[in-house]
Structure 1
């Protein structure tokens, strides 16, 4: 899972740059524990027998609350970020086993009162399943096809202030595990749960920095960006030994009209060996140009300094072999270096069904 390691590097680079030069007076550290209790949503009939009952889990995490030294910290209402460990017991143990995950997270405050605050936390990590699909020893497991999978969690919580240093937490969350169609079967696991926990802030409570003045002299807006990205990945369409290489070339023109959002449009060219194999079998295509799909897309980027969360909605406009669905989605992360070079990791889907994980390199032209 080199793509997941790359994602961790991207996040680490962004966090290290975002906090470079910070002293302990500019960060409020904390640690926490959460207990989760929920159930798996059996979104396929094949999964119902082994996803019944509760799916308990727990997590421990540690991080820091930003205090406003940098402009972007004020724009996102002093977000927190950190690392954590998750252990869960989804569904029937003999089929799905146990899952252990290490993750990175970013947390945003949505409301703040004297007695409580509300937060939404997004976590992304690498999970290991002790049980996964095997045609002989575990054929019933259609949800997890590989030992290592992407772990995503969105948690909405209330933090109740017990004292200046301790908070009691209550929340609801959604958790997803999948390998991004790297290997089939890959129906994935979706868990909805309630959670309780405790969070501790050691040391003295530190004040926030005053809100900086934003204006044209600091960051002239609007800003236009044109970039090109080349990406590669692997996919598996059915439960078989063969995996197929895939590539994409994308160009995107966007306009950043405020400090946190960038919107635009672009074009894509997709090529994968599965299209080639399918075309040869059906005699639909014989030349290289007939193995590609051309598309257009709308883009929306959420900007965190050099790191951007990217969201694309695309439509195929050119093809010889009809695509699985006419519309695709792409969600991912992209990091831009000072030289204009970019590195990114994204998941391409068709109506939320994973198509492939893309690892890409690119360049911002302007």
Structure 2
């Protein structure tokens, strides 16, 4: 029941944004359908090689998108990209991994401003959402699948896309990229399912022609001075297969500089909390310090729109505890955030050690000078 509720919530949030854009004349609407196929990537373990030989991946995607056709600074800065929502479903059910499906938000950013007068248009894309309907690891019913321990997972697909214009309203396209399913160690095992699909598809533009867009008349003010940003992280982590999951959280303080319209840079401090060590380890004496880690972190933020941005971080531990599965002296972070106001933001990131998930960071934060 909880799984169904989560899926419905994601559907509601994604398609609420679709409905808002779909009803406004300032957005050009597009519909895409594609078929994809590609190999599952083994991690080199014998069980992974066995699944790779057993599984064949074929899927279809349906996407509804919109592109703002009025003059805006970030629209022109990114050559008027397409944003939207989509649904992906694997075609065959396979007992080892199930029938992986995903509902997601996407962006499609051209390298040059899209034009129907030019036959070929190259872009890069990202699909970020919720994956579901997987058949997870079970020691009795599905012992071979050590890739995924949960039915619900994150869904990520990144790559390149080539469009070929047939008419003013119709284009063929092909995509290649990396697709990833992972639960962020909320339930182990969590090696993650990685695929390299190649797609072919068709795009239909509901608007018959591209209207010329005037040159930008004014740039918004760029905040040259630095400012402070604080964030609070909330999540859960499963440390061992078959054992309970425990709360993971943290707090961050970063000083950021807005050096360009696309990027922000910063340096800060992370403090992480991993309670439950006494239950997990069986130790009689556990201190607060044993369940706490501290790190210096460098931050980079990629602004996609006035409100939406991708935070990236690289942290170096000043203090860590390997019993909290902090196995390396550094970690990585990447995610998606949305500015609710000029000061308040929310989002989700994944923290990882050498690209191996530590936990999902559900985030709320506040910026101030």
TM-score, normalised via structure 1 length: 0.89
Change (3 A) 1:151 1:236: same
SS in 2 for 1:128: strand
Mapping of 1:113-124 within 5 angstroms? 114-124=118-128
Check whether the contact 1:89–1:97 (CA below 8 A) recurs between aligned residues. Answer: no
Name the CA distance, whole Å, in 1 between partners of 2:212 and 2:190. Answer: 45
Aligned residue pairs: how many?
358
Offset, 1:23: 4.1
Q: 8 Å contact 2:175–2:200 — kept in the other structure?
A: yes
1:299 and 2:303 aligned: no
Residue among 327, 334, 339 paired with 2:337? 334
2:199 corresponds in structure 1 to 195
User: What's the CA shift for 1:66?
Assistant: 2.5
For residue 217 of structure 2, the aligned residue among 185, 190, 213 is 213
Q: For residue 110 of structure 1, what is the aligned residue in structure 2?
A: 111
Shift of 1:223: 3.7
Can you list the C-alpha shifts for 1:158-216, whole angstroms capped at 9, x where unaligned? 1101111110112212110111111001111110021111111123214143122345x
Which residue of 1 is the match for residue 234 of structure 2? 232
Contact 2:352 2:359 (8 Å CA) reproduced: yes
State the distance in 2 between where 1:16 and 1:89 align: 27
> 1:145-184, aligned counterparts within 5 Å?
145-184=149-188
Contact conserved, 2:146 with 2:191, CA < 8 A, in 1? yes
Q: 1:9: how far off?
A: 8.5
Q: Which residue of 1 aligns with 2:190?
A: 186
Q: 1:63 to 1:261 in 2, by over 3 A?
A: same
1:4, distance to aligned residue in structure 2 (A)? 8.7
Where relative contact order (Cα < 8 A, 6+ residues apart) is larger, the structure is 1
> CA, structure 1 residues 208+244, in 2 after alignment: closer, same or farther (shift >3 Å)?
farther
Root-mean-square deviation (CA, aligned residues, Å) is 2.7
What is the aligned counterpart of 2:243 among 235, 241, 244?
Answer: 241
> What are the residue-to-residue correspondences of 1:53-68 with 2, within 5 Å?
54-68=56-70
- Checking the alignment, whether the CA contact within 8 Å between 2:96 and 2:142 is kept in structure 1 is yes
Any conservation in 1 of the 2:14–2:104 contact (CA below 8 Å)?
A: no
Give a deviation string over 1:297-323, Cα, whole Å, max 9, x none: 100001121222100000001246573
Q: Does the 8 Å CA contact 2:162/2:175 hold for their aligned counterparts?
A: yes
> Could you list the runs of 5+ residues in structure 1 that have no partner in the other structure?
none
Which residue is equivalent to 1:126?
Answer: 130
Q: Is the 8 A contact 1:88 1:99 kept in 2?
A: yes
Deviations 1:188-247 (A, max 9, x none): 1110021111111123214143122345xx313414221111111100122023111111
Residue 79 (structure 1) shift: 0.7
**Does the CA-based 8 Å contact 1:301-1:311 persist in structure 2?**
yes
Query: TM-score, length-normalised on structure 2?
Result: 0.88
Query: Secondary structure of 1:51's partner?
Result: helix
Cα displacement (A) at 1:332: 1.1
Moved more, 120-129 or 47-56: 47-56
In the alignment, structure 1 residue 83 sits paired with structure 2 residue 77: no
C-alpha distance in 1 between matches for 2:91 and 2:12: 28
